[in-house]
Structure 1
């Protein structure tokens, strides 16, 4: 009896182990059976359209951030610039995906200007950043700084420019992170106003631009305007006309016919005859 009970107990134990193994194997099969689908191409799409396409393709949500180090909140005029995973990569269904975005005007500007464009000679910072200016589309990403050695004593550095922006999101890589080399371009430069200053250069001056990076506009104070010379007022000078004197005929000169030094025939009371004739 005891032996039979032992055998029964061992049989139950084996059955339990087999059942456990079957359950574990079944779970493993479920995980491997999660479909892997192609990551959609979202670059250039509005954030709203990108969210819709992501859900339709992967049945998951799209988490997005500002690509620039400015760490701004997005708006309706923003577009996707990069994604993780990249377009076309086989991605498990339901897995979260990430994207980085910029204003459409910024994205278009960087695509048009893969390197720093040449600045117009003598252009003011206000004109370059204002409406229709060369840097207007990326005005949010431009840091206006005095040219080294040209800052007035009252100018100060930006307290926010103490280190490169590196977000703590647990993403590797995080495309919003600012490379130290880019931060170094403006490190220690003094903040300048846009009005009353003239652009003399930009950073980086050469080389490829990273889409979404900060740009530095170097300026000096606008020289004071030279005083204008006083203008000579225009006066209307009256013209004095000399009346014509009728000498009354007689072409003789002095002492000639008609007599008199004035040519003769002028009746002036009291005038000597030798003069008036």
Structure 2
């Protein structure tokens, strides 16, 4: 148990609302080991930090991915933290962490790959003197006798 409202020992009057917060064991140990927010490298793939070897792996259920305001594609889709790149985190690296708090990783889309340069296609043209207009394009199916 991480927190309880109202605190233990306080008399309760009816009706009352009681709130109790729990963490999984690995989440609790992660927060003990990380009293401040660890640094997440800018422009690294977001999924690298929540995957099996990532620094946020043990608290991945407390991590929320959001578009950075300057990089929101405006499509209405939510980032999944898979192929997006990290812009920053809330809290920022080095800021104190409260036990069980949510961690926001703000991301941007990975830029589209540059288009491949146009390829030059070699066409083999065979000219002979038999007037049958030979034109051979390797790999193509030609329906006439002139190919």
| TM-score bucket of the superposed structures, by smaller chain | 0.5 to 0.7
- State how far apart, in whole Å, the 1-side matches of 2:21 and 2:109 are: 37
User: Conserved in 2, the CA contact under 8 Å of 1:144 and 1:218?
Assistant: yes
Pick the aligned partner of 1:132 from 53, 62, 73.
Answer: 53
Distance, in Å, in 2 between the alignment partners of 1:221 and 1:99 is 37
Cα distance between partner residues in 2 of 1:139 and 1:103 = 11
1:194 is matched with which residue?
81
For 1:217 and 1:229, how far apart are their aligned partners in 2?
35
Measure, in 2, the Cα distance between the counterparts of 1:108 and 1:226.
Answer: 43
Aligned position for 2:21: 100
Q: Which residue of 1 aligns with 2:71?
A: 150
Offset of residue 134 of structure 1: 1.3
- 2:103 match: 215
Cα displacement (A) at 1:195: 2.1
Mind listing any 5+ residue stretches in structure 1 that lack a counterpart? 1-79, 90-97, 157-190, 231-277
Structure 2 length as normaliser, TM-score?
A: 0.62
- Separation in structure 1 between the aligned mates of residue 76 and residue 80 of structure 2, nearest angstrom: 10
TM-superposition CA deviations, 1:212-271 (whole Å, max 9, x none): 1111001010112345679xxxxxxxxxxxxxxxxxxxxxxxxxxxxxxxxxxxxxxxxx
SS at match of 2:96: coil
Contact 1:155–1:192, Cα closer than 8 Å, also in 2: no
The correspondence for 1:225, drawn from 113, 119, 143, is 113
Pair 142,227 (structure 1): closer, same or farther in 2 beyond 3 Å: same
Structure 2: stretches of 5+ with no match in the other structure: 10-18, 119-147
CA contact (8 A) 1:151 1:220 kept: yes
Q: Counterpart of 2:69 in 1: which secondary structure?
A: coil
SS at match of 1:149: helix
- Provide the rounded CA distance (Å) in 2 between the counterparts of 1:192 and 1:118: 20
Give the Å deviation of 1:122: 2.8
Contact kept, 8 Å, 2:42 with 2:88, in 1: the verdict is: no
Which residue of the partner structure matches residue 141 of structure 1? 62
Larger gyration radius, structure 1 or structure 2:
1
Normalised by the size of structure 1, how large is the TM-score? 0.35
Using CA pairs under 8 Å that are at least 6 residues apart, name the structure with larger relative contact order, 1 or 2: 2
> Is the 1:82–1:100 Cα contact (8 Å) retained in structure 2?
yes
Q: Contact 2:31 / 2:99 at 8 angstroms: preserved in 1?
A: yes
Instruction: Quote how far apart the aligned CAs of 1:197 are.
Output: 0.4
- 1:128 positional shift: 1.2
